[in-house]
Amino acid sequence: MSYAIEVQNLSKSFGSLHAVRDISFNVARGDVLGFLGPNGAGKSTAMKMITGFLEPTAGRVRVCGHDLHEEPVQLKSRIGYLPEGAPAYGEMTPVSFLEFIGEIRGLRGRHLQDRIGEVVRSIHLEAVLEQRIETLSKGYKRRVGLAQAILHDPEVLIMDEPTDGLDPNQKHEVRTLIREMASTKAIVISTHILEEVDSVCTRAIIIAGGRLLFEGTPGELEARSRLHNAVTLSVNRDSFAAQRELSALGNVDSVDIRTDSSGNTRLTVVPAAGTNIINEVTDFVRTRGWTATEVRVESGRLDEVFRTITTQQASGGART
């Protein structure tokens, strides 16, 4: 089976500004691809090209077998798209807005009303259905945008920062919704919230300065962390003494000391790259007769990996 989204050597320049440079990736049904990257990295620009709003300077896009240039209308009919900032016609009410989108998406009569009902329920829009969109709060506007994107149950869903501006409960619900839809769809989301990558994405790509710098699973991303497989523990010993002793262990790169706001001090033993030191550390603690009140293995800090990957590259669109 071919991929639902195929992007080959996609580039976009605005004058001398290269917003997207030679990006290629594929997304299969069942995948949720997370687009990560600093502000101005080119995430939104890439999405605008895939959905047919912007003309690529170079490269190819195919969605469900439809080429962007040859069959733009068919391509668009397969996609549900939440543009950045969730634009909507302000003078309309959510219900008339959804009816309009549904009609254009080819839904009719009963079926349209049923779909609107389902979507309104799953995104909790009941309370604002008859209120003008321009008077809605930011989070509700975003939800109207989400509702519009999933209304026709598209095979491909592309969402630019879908949880931006939502309250924590809504964020949670939207992530759950994305996971539920994931099995049958190919989904691309962009986000600045790194936990989101862990909780909903099956794959992630990192873009900075228009270039694709990383592609892989969230696990692989975490594995790049200095803290991957690090051991965090709190012991009933003087932190500095413990730090000195632990640092002397084989395969230990460094030992960090952190004190949290309630005064608890933890040591984080960072392993040499690619090694696993949990056994060494626990054995050591036992043979020295320390009492450890907490021991845990870190999976890696995404924010740290993100920073490392994206700061090697000057962020923002690079000029020639």
Helix (H) or strand (E) holding 306: helix 302-311
Exactly one of 8, 26, 96, 202 binds another protein (CB under 8 A); that residue is: 96
Helices (H), 81-193: 94-104, 109-123, 138-150, 168-182
Residue 51 in contact with another protein, rule: CB under 8 A? yes
Residue 90 in contact with another protein, rule: CB under 8 A? yes
What is the C-alpha to C-alpha distance for residues 119 and 97, in angstroms, rounded to an integer? 13
Could you tell me the end-to-end alpha-carbon distance of the chain, in angstroms, rounded to an integer? 39
Helix (H) or strand (E) holding 247: helix 239-247
Q: What's the CA angle centered on 82, arms 79 and 85, to 5 degrees?
A: 160
Exactly one of 24, 58, 65, 89 binds another protein (CB under 8 A); that residue is: 89
Q: Compare residues 205 and 235 and give the one whose CB is closer to ligand ATP.
A: 205
Interacting span for ligand ATP (CB under 6 A) from 38-46, 95-103, 177-185, 276-284: 38-46
Give yes or no for a contact between 37 and 307, defined as CB atoms under 8 angstroms apart.
no
Token look-up 């309009």 returns 100
Interacting span for another protein (CB under 8 A) from 83-91, 112-120, 187-195, 198-206: 83-91
Q: Compare residues 77 and 251 and give the one whose CB is closer to another protein.
A: 77
Which residues make beta-bridge pairs with 208?
A: 211
Binding partner of 42, given ligand ATP, Mg ion, another protein, none, CB within 5-8 angstroms per partner class: ligand ATP
Give yes or no for a contact between 320 and 218, defined as CB atoms under 8 angstroms apart.
no
DSSP letter at 83 equals -
Residue 313 in contact with Mg ion, rule: CB under 5 A? no
Token look-up 């605008």 returns 48
Task: Tell the smallest beta-carbon distance from residue 55 to another protein (Å).
Answer: 4
What is the C-alpha to C-alpha distance for residues 51 and 63, in angstroms, rounded to an integer? 9
Q: How far is CA 205 from CA 61, 86, 164, 185, 191, in A?
A: 17, 22, 19, 18, 11
Which residues make beta-bridge pairs with 186?
A: 156
Exactly one of 25, 35, 81, 214 binds another protein (CB under 8 A); that residue is: 81
Residues 53-112 that bind ligand ATP (CB under 6 A): 84
Exactly one of 5, 11, 12, 246 binds another protein (CB under 8 A); that residue is: 12
Residue 55 in contact with another protein, rule: CB under 8 A? yes
Exactly one of 3, 8, 22, 40 binds ligand ATP (CB under 6 A); that residue is: 40
Task: Tell the smallest beta-carbon distance from residue 201 to another protein (Å).
Answer: 23
Number of residues this chain uses to bind ligand ATP (CB under 6 A): 14
Residues 260-289 that bind another protein (CB under 8 A): none
Residue 139 in contact with another protein, rule: CB under 8 A? no
Exactly one of 23, 32, 101, 277 binds another protein (CB under 8 A); that residue is: 101
Task: Return the half-sphere exposure (C-beta side, CA atoms, 13 A cut-off) of residue 114.
Answer: 6
Q: Which residues bind Mg ion (CB under 5 A)?
A: 43-44, 84
Q: Which residues bind ligand ATP (CB under 6 A)?
A: 14, 17, 19, 37, 39-45, 84, 316-317
